[in-house]
Amino acid sequence: MGLAELVPGISGGTIAFVTGIYSELVTSLASFGPHSVRLLSQPQMFWQYHNLGFLLSLAVGMGAGIIAFAPVVRFFLAEAAPLLWAFFFGLILASAVVIGRARSLSVLARYGTLGAILGLAFLMLPIGQIQSSWIALFIAGAVAVCAWILPAVSGSFVLLLLGLYDDVIVAIADLDVLKLSAVALGCAVGLALFVRVLSWLITHHEDRLLSLLTGFMVVALAKLWPWQNSDAATLMESFLWPAEYVSLSGQSAYLAGVLPAVSMGVIVLWLMQRVAYRA
């Protein structure tokens, strides 16, 4: 999930869903509230009530993934971006199939179509350029974490739209504590406000919600097109043909490696599901 959140277009929530831990994650996060303060005097009960063993192991894994892979992602984005995008294209394509096929066909047709329309509108949004102040990073973290917890919408995608993605990636790679504290605090506040709403939606409208997100995810796959113009004003304008990519970037289009990278993404998703089912 940590690796997924480093790449715009990939949601950590998607990885949680296809590996079977999504409901436990949302329920555990939603358990926090004003009553949590009263439980602090009973540490064992506090630990059990909030499922902290699960949350801490997940947080440590995500943190390790982010720290370990931020330099790798940064390298691929600079030197071999088509291979990185292609790998995650295969991963998210397979995820959309897994989530979509578990939905009712009639609900998927209605709400999946709505999600696809919203996804198209999302792709039309202009890419912003916000000054990376502490306050801006705090607000960006609060908004991005809402996307992180949803299976389909990427927190990194939101940072990209705000024009703060590169700043956050550099801060992670350089371990910039000041900037990272702003993002972390924003994430904590945003998650506390949003997760209860999400828990209610999953409890009462799970099929509709996930059908809508499946439609959104399928259209948002366009953001993972291997050949992109990073200087485009909108996401729709960023799609290039391989020859255009080579001409514009001066780098290889990696045509021979794109399809194997897509296949590798599908295989990784399949392996994650196998591990999840055995667990």
> How far, in Å, CA of 115 to CA of 111, rounded?
6
Output the furthest CA–CA distance in the chain (Å, rounded): 64
Q: Which two tokens stand for residue 275?
A: 């591990």
Number of domains in the chain: 1
Q: How much is the pLDDT for 279?
A: 58
> How far, in Å, CA of 204 to CA of 213, rounded?
16
Q: How much is the pLDDT for 276?
A: 65
pLDDT along the chain (279 residues), means of 10: 73 78 86 84 90 92 87 83 88 83 88 88 68 83 81 72 78 84 89 84 86 84 80 71 86 90 88 71
Please give the model's pTM, rounded to 2 decimal places. Answer: 0.72
> What residues make up the domain containing 6?
2-278
> How far, in Å, CA of 199 to CA of 217, rounded?
20
